[in-house]
């Protein structure tokens, strides 16, 4: 991918953009979260995205986070439309035993959080974000070949021209360097549903 097509939303203090990879060093107290559960709101994580109106595509990225070490340190794929409408997927560090592989979808200013525990020894992860108009699929992979579905979701403002890319943040008192590489934009790998036909309207 041509990273010259990408632009920062909240440029981080420390970063490197090369021809084939991006390094982001997080600042403490940076996050993306809106309201749900404890009414907390934070919208200051650095986001590096490109814009497209293509209704069908897949975006693939490899993340490396060997330096993550504090609760909620995270990096991954993101589709950030505005402060109250976005989705993200990442591995969030928890402790020396386990961390959370999960995703957050925020529609209309309210976030959810869906996770599964994985070993703390996992320090790399692939993500594939696929778009079918205003519906989206997030998948993950440990090897970039065998993909596992994380979630399918609808974005209320996810039609037309959108922005997508990568992010990293440290919600508490830490900092770490995330490395993003092997970014690809491909035809949509999330195929049309071949089962039940849509209801007639």
Asked whether the CA dihedral 20, 140, 73, 86 is positive or negative, the reply is positive
DSSP structure class, residue 191? P
Distances in Å between the Cα of 146 and the Cα atoms of 103, 128, 143, 179 are 19, 11, 7, 21
pTM (predicted TM-score)? 0.95
The answer to whether 98 and 181 are in contact (CB under 8 A) is no
> pLDDT 10s digit of each residue in the chain, 201 long?
899 999 999 999 999 999 999 999 999 999 999 999 888 899 999 999 999 999 999 999 999 999 999 999 999 999 999 999 999 999 999 999 999 999 999 999 999 999 999 999 999 999 999 999 999 999 999 999 999 999 999 999 999 999 999 999 999 999 999 999 999 999 999 999 887 777 766
- The structural domains of the chain, ordered by start, are 3-186 (2.60.120.200)
CA of 86: how far to CAs of 7, 13, 62, in Å?
16, 23, 20
pLDDT value at residue 39: 85
What's the pLDDT at 194?
82
The rounded distance, in Å, linking the Cα atoms of 149 and 189 is: 12
pLDDT at 201: 60
Task: Give the model's pLDDT for residue 196.
Answer: 73
């Amino acid at each position: 991918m041509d990273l010259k097509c990408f632009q920062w939303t909240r440029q981080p203090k420390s970063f490197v953009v090369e021809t084939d990879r991006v390094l982001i060093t997080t600042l403490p107290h940076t996050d993306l979260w809106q309201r749900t559960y404890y009414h907390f709101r934070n919208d200051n994580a650095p986001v590096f995205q490109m814009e497209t109106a293509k209704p069908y595509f897949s975006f693939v990225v490899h993340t490396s986070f060997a330096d993550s070490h504090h609760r909620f340190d995270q990096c991954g794929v993101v589709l950030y439309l505005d402060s109250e409408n976005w989705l993200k997927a990442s591995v969030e560090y928890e402790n020396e035993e386990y961390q959370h592989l999960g995703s957050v979808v925020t529609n209309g200013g309210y976030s959810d959080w869906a996770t599964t525990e994985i070993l703390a020894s996992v320090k790399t992860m692939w993500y594939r974000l696929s778009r079918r108009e205003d519906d989206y699929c997030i998948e993950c992979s440990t090897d970039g070949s065998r993909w596992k579905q994380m979630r399918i979701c609808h974005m209320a403002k996810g039609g037309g021209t959108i922005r997508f890319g990568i992010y990293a943040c440290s919600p508490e008192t830490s900092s770490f360097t995330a490395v993003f590489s092997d970014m690809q934009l491909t035809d949509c790998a999330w195929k049309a549903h071949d089962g039940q036909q849509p209801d007639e309207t």
